Amino acid sequence: MKILSIIIFGLLLSNCANSYVKNKKIIKSPDDLQKFINIYCDKNKSTNKVIKVCGNGWSKDLNISENKAILSAKIKIADITQHSILSNEVITHKENKKGIIKTYDLTADSRLDEVSIAGYRIVHKKVLKEKNGWRTLVLIEYKIS
C-alpha cells in the first residue's frame, strides 16, 4: 500500500509541473517568471543531432515581444554553433625592494561575425501577460548537419 501511495503521489507531482506551464496566463513577479522559465525550458533537452534552446522577450507590443523571443533563441543557437572566442592573456612580474609583484590580466571576447541561422523550427510558443505588456517564450529546434 505504501508503494502504491508513493507512485500516485509522484505522478501527481510530475503532472503539477506540466499543468503549471500549460495553465499559466499571467506573470506576477520575478520569482514567478524564473520558475516558469525553468520549467518551460527544462522539459526539452538538446541532443547530439538537435540543439534546442529557449528564448524570451518582453514588450508592450505583442509582435515585438515575439520577435525579441525568436531573436534571443537564434542568438543562443548562433553562439553554440558559430562563435569564436578571442582572448588575450598578460602575466607580469615586477621586482621591487619588498619582493616580487605578480599581475595577471585576461580579456576574452565572444564574437559572432556574419552568422546565418537557417533551418530552425519553432517547436513551441507561449504568450503570457506580464504587468502592462506581453512576455513571449519560444522553444526553437535546430538540426545539426
Overall domain count for the chain: 1
Contacts of residue 130, defined as CB under 8 A and 6 or more positions apart, other chains included, come to 26, 27, 33, 58
Strand-pair category, 99-111 with 120-130: unpaired
User: Alpha-carbon distance 126 to 133, whole Å?
Assistant: 14
pLDDT of residue 9: 46
User: Alpha-carbon distance 56 to 40, whole Å?
Assistant: 11
Residue-wise pLDDT for 2-28, tens only, equals 554 444 445 444 444 455 555 666 777
Q: Are the C-beta atoms of residues 65 and 137 closer than 8 Å to each other?
A: no
Q: What is the mean pLDDT of the chain?
A: 78
This prediction's pTM = 0.62
- The residue among 10 and 29 whose pLDDT is bigger is 29
Return the DSSP state at 25.
-
pLDDT of residue 16: 45
Give the pLDDT band of residue 66 (cuts 50, 70, 90). very high
To the nearest 10°, report the CA torsion of 31, 27, 20, 56: -90
**Would you say residue 137 has pLDDT above 50?**
yes
Least confident of 9-18, 40-49, 50-59, 77-86: 9-18
Residue with cell 520577435: 67
Domain that holds residue 24: 2-143
